[in-house]
Structure 1
């Protein structure tokens, strides 16, 4: 992997980013341009504009930002940290076949894109379960029953 495509985490700057956040909120995606060091104007595609907007918004909220390609290989600890679970929990997910991985030697390695796919599937399953709970509660008139305090 070249140095340009390697993962890199950037902490938010010390100063406020309010001016940039305002600029991104006012600028249309199709109008976005960068100005190079020698003054040349370069139009940027809408997808890149959205990435830059997301980075500026996250940094303005005090969050560090990591940019990594989807084919980035992760250790089990890095993957566990990204999911917000313990490493043993992640290993159990790997062994259960929830997330594909490779084990070229002693250590398991997984791709960022596979981890993000798992995250999307998990989010979708949670949303479906929540929708089902709401529907069951509405069918049983449980919302009506909770309008008065329980004594």
Structure 2
């Protein structure tokens, strides 16, 4: 049975320029000062939990800057190809990262196919960004030293 792409099934929201001002205003609000109510068709109301309000306000900020927002659970399992797409890397390179254990993966039961948790992909991406920033700071310090010398 073919596996449907996790990324294809994810909820995606594209920015609408006509909502930019309202989204930017919402993004500036502190979650603890906001209450979001859902009104049902029968007139009932449901207050959203603070955690969901934080997600909504963060999403509003991204949309106000013209960025699309995709909603995925941290525990979503991605294929190596989806992992590569998310990271902007080639699938063969991601396969090498998986083989080396740089990104944890597990085999599907009774199969040689691997899956990767979204949380592990995001953790790898953060480590990669920190290393990149560290290298940039070292290069800047070396440039400053050469300029002073």
SS in 2 for 1:17: helix
Are 1:68 and 2:86 an aligned pair? no
Could you list the runs of 4 or more consecutive aligned residues of structure 1 that deviate by over 6 angstroms after TM superposition?
A: none
* Distance in structure 1 (CA, Å) of the matches to 2:132 and 2:98: 19
Task: Indicate if the aligned counterparts of 2:10 and 2:72 stay in contact, CA closer than 8 A.
Answer: yes
Normalised TM-score (structure 2): 0.77
Cα offsets for 1:40-67 (capped at 9, x unmatched)? 362641x433321222233344443221
Instruction: Using the TM superposition, give the Cα deviation of residue 12 of structure 1 relative to its aligned residue in structure 2, in angstroms.
Output: 2.0
**Unpaired stretches in structure 2, ≥5 consecutive residues:** 1-8
Task: Give 1:110's match in structure 2, choosing from 108, 116, 126.
Answer: 116
| Structure having the higher Rg | 1
Task: Give 1:24's match in structure 2, choosing from 21, 26, 37.
Answer: 26
SS in 2 for 1:109: strand
Number of aligned residue pairs: 136
Of stretches 83-92 and 18-27 in structure 1, the one that deviates more from structure 2 is 18-27
**Unpaired stretches in structure 1, ≥5 consecutive residues:** 1-6, 146-151
Aligned to 1:42: 47
Instruction: Using the TM superposition, give the Cα deviation of residue 137 of structure 1 relative to its aligned residue in structure 2, in angstroms.
Output: 1.2
Aligned to 2:129: 123
Normalised TM-score (structure 1): 0.76
* Distance in structure 2 (CA, Å) of the matches to 1:62 and 1:136: 36
Within 5 A, what are the aligned runs for 1:52-67? 52-67=56-71
